[in-house]
């Protein structure tokens, strides 16, 4: 695992919003096949970093390389190839509200213009089955879905093109514990089945512990530590101490209750 090639390389990244500096000299690497979690306090620029990896925002300086080529200033063909090899699960789902569940998942497949409608249908049904959405929900509109279903449908849409790289923005936010646990299980299954590399932003400690191979901690405008949960745990930094203190408290709470 540790000799797998890097799929994302970020070097010397700088981000500024007006006078406010968000990132400075930020370095981060993601290996193929791992699940990397970004954690950090609110306002530490996790989502901004994710958006920069997606090419939605351009940093003030530095390099973001995905699949070995720069995310910015690349030609349209390369850009398109990168986009079809990555999938994103947005925090709010970002389903197209004017399209049905079926059409939402079918949209990226239709955009390729190489598949016939029957193949698209089969693919959509397989993807919906993967995320445990019953076929009778396929014709519903996103406005009529529950929060958990919106997450699952948008995961199905993110997986529609069988991407190698998946970005998850707060995958379990807004889900109840049981649903969030089943969602975590779902992502683990997907990963085993599809050999995914996943970059994730989360605040939820259970999700973090269950999914991450490696954790990158964003604080003081850069990645202060990156490593496995055990490695990070003992790293002397106030934010990390606080973060894991809440984790202990939570587990104690459950322990005391029992």
Q: Which positions lie near another protein, rule CB under 8 A?
A: 81, 84-85, 96-98, 102, 112, 114-119, 121-123, 125-127, 129-130, 135, 139, 141-143, 161-162, 193-195
CB of 79 to another protein, least distance (A): 14
Report the half-sphere exposure of 165 (CA within 13 A, side-chain side).
19
Measured from the CB atom, is 161 or 219 closer to another protein?
161
Measured from the CB atom, is 113 or 257 closer to another protein?
113
Measured from the CB atom, is 17 or 96 closer to another protein?
96
CB of 34 to another protein, least distance (A): 18
Find, among 7, 117, 20, the residue nearest to 53 by Cα. Answer: 7
CB of 80 to another protein, least distance (A): 11
CB of 136 to another protein, least distance (A): 9
Measured from the CB atom, is 161 or 223 closer to another protein?
161
| Residue 113: alpha-carbon gap to chain centroid | 27
Measured from the CB atom, is 1 or 114 closer to another protein?
114
CB of 174 to another protein, least distance (A): 14
């Amino acid at each position: 695992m540790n000799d797998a090639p890097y799929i994302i390389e970020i070097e010397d990244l700088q981000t500024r919003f007006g006078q406010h500096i968000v990132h400075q000299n930020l370095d981060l690497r993601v290996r193929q096949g791992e699940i990397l979690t970004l954690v950090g306090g609110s306002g530490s620029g996790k989502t901004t970093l994710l958006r920069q990896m997606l090419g939605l925002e351009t940093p003030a300086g530095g390099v973001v390389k995905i699949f070995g080529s720069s995310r910015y200033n690349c030609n349209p063909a390369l850009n398109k190839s990168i986009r079809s090899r990555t999938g994103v699960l947005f925090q709010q789902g970002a389903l197209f509200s004017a399209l049905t569940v079926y059409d939402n998942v079918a949209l990226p497949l239709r955009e390729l213009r190489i598949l016939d409608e029957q193949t698209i249908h089969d693919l959509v049904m397989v993807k919906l089955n993967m995320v445990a959405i019953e076929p009778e929900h396929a014709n519903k509109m996103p406005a009529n879905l529950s929060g958990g279903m919106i997450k699952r449908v948008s995961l199905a849409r993110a997986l529609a093109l069988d991407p190698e790289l998946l970005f998850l923005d707060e995958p379990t936010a807004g889900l109840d514990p049981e649903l969030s646990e089943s969602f975590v299980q779902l992502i683990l299954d997907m990963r085993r089945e599809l050999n995914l590399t996943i970059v994730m932003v989360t605040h939820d400690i259970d999700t973090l512990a269950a999914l991450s191979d490696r954790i990158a901690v964003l604080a003081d405008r850069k990645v202060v530590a990156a490593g496995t949960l055990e490695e990070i745990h003992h790293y002397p930094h106030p934010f990390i101490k606080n973060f894991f203190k809440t984790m202990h408290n939570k587990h104690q709470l459950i322990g005391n209750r029992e």
